Every structure is written in C-alpha cells, then in structure tokens.
Amino acid sequence: MSVKAIQRELERLTNEAMQPLGLTAAQADADEVRKGAAAEIEEVLQRAHADSHQTEVARAASLADVIRNLDEARGLSEVLERLVQSAGDEVDRVAMLLVKGDRLTGWRLAGFAPDGPSARSIDLSIGEAGLAGVVLETHVPVSRPSDATDGPALPSFAADAVGHAMALPVRVGGEVVAVLYADAAAPDAPSSDARWPAVLEVLVRHASRVLEAMTVQQAAGLSLPRPTRNLAGSDRTLAGGAQ
C-alpha cells in the first residue's frame, strides 16, 4: 500500500470514528491500518539498508582490487597508467601531468573530448596550471567547485569543467613528481558517488608508495620485473605519452 493510500484510509477511518455507533469498530480498523503501515515501512527500510550494505561491500571490494592492481604494476610508467585508469572509473575526466622542473607537462588524458588538446601538447607553468600548479607548490591536494569565482583557477585544458575539480600530488621521496587532475559533475544529492575525492586520495597515496618502493629498489641495485627509468629521466613512454 502506498503512503498516499494509507493516508486516505486513515482519513476515512477518522471520519467514521466521528459517528457514535461506529466509534469502536473504526478505532480497531484504524489501529490495524497503522500497524500494517508501520510494518510495510519497516520492511522497506530493512530492504533499503540491505541494498545499501551490499553496495558498500561491492565498493570496498572494488577499491581493494584497484589497490592490488597498483601493487602488481611492473614498472614506474605502468603504476601511473593504472592510476589514470582507476581514477577514470571514479570521475568524468582525468589528466596525469608530469613535473619537469617548474613546469607540468601532459602524459595521459582520459574522458576528455576527442577534439580537445592532446596530452603531449600540454606544457604549463605553475601559474598556467591553476589547481595543479598550487599542488606542485604546496604538496597537498586542492579542490574547488568548477564554477567558483575565487581560489585557484582551473587548468587551461580543463577550463570547461562542470561540477567539481581536484588535483592531487604523486610524491616520491617527499618530492612531487606528477599531479593527477580530475573533475566530475556534482551529484544532485549526497551519495556514495560524492566520495570520489576521498577515493582518489587513497589511490594517489598508494600509488606514491608503490613508486617510492620501486625507486628504492632501483637505487639499491635490485632488479624490477621490467626495467624502467626514473620519472625525471628519458623514458619515452613516460615523457611523451599521448592521449
């Protein structure tokens, strides 16, 4: 029975209760209606709780799979590649920018329009990089609504962002070696989808630890499953990745 139907039934029973001869019977019927409505509402709530629980379990399992996927990467560039792919599953658009001195250059884009700038065409100063430039200077994540009128600007390649934008530092040995930019439309109501900034921060922090462990292995002369060069080196795949 719908809520409106329950309300109509209660109103009918209330009117009947005003009639002296039908008072006792009407009260009994009203009590039954109320009990039935309460039971139905409780059932709906329990079902919603169960569905929500299953959704949360699925999301937690998915996050664990992504973490394992980062752990299994066979080289530095593959860690960044998997990070971009995983972040792209959470948001609308993702850009991986590599640090070259005091500039940020594009390495991978995901979710951007085909007629937009390619990754390899992106070469920004700290000021031009907006959010990403602030991250390079502060070493901490920065976010803003895309339509905000104050605070850090959006990067030029993402000036048309709609919703919420965020940039996060990929750190190795305390230094920012790359910046992950992401944006997504803001949800209409609070939901698990609204937590993507927190999910991205977990992914970026873990990717940073994986990269640092690989760098330490290389410095110690331990071989990796697939030889790669460091992020600041001349690895063609890292420095010249396309969209």
Each residue's pLDDT tens digit, 3-37: 455 455 556 655 555 454 444 554 555 555 455 55
Q: Token pair of 31, please?
A: 């009590």
> Which CATH number does the domain housing residue 107 bear?
3.30.450.40
Write out the residue range of the structural domain in which residue 17 sits: 3-52
Residue 171 lies in a domain: yes
- On whether both 135 and 197 belong to a single domain, the answer is yes
- On whether both 93 and 206 belong to a single domain, the answer is yes
Each residue's pLDDT tens digit, 97-131: 999 999 999 999 999 998 888 999 999 999 999 99
CB 243 within 8 A of CB 97: no
Residue 120 lies in a domain: yes
H/E element, 93 = strand 93-100
- On whether both 162 and 128 belong to a single domain, the answer is yes
H/E element, 107 = strand 103-110
Q: Token pair of 16, please?
A: 């009947």
- On whether both 88 and 197 belong to a single domain, the answer is yes
Left if phi > 0, otherwise alpha if psi is -120 to 50, otherwise beta: which for 151? left
State the pTM of this model. Answer: 0.67
Three-state SS across 118-153?
Answer: CHHHCEEECCCCCHHHHHHHHCCCEEEECCCCCCCC
> How many residues appear in the chain?
243
CB 114 within 8 A of CB 123: no
Q: What is the pLDDT of residue 42?
A: 65
> Which stretches of the chain drop beneath a pLDDT of 70?
1-61, 186-194, 221-243
- On whether both 31 and 114 belong to a single domain, the answer is no
- On whether both 183 and 87 belong to a single domain, the answer is yes
Residue 8 lies in a domain: yes
Residue 66 lies in a domain: no
Domain count for the chain: 2
* C-alpha pair distances (Å), 83 with each of 66, 200, 209, 217, 221: 9, 9, 12, 20, 26
- On whether both 40 and 125 belong to a single domain, the answer is no
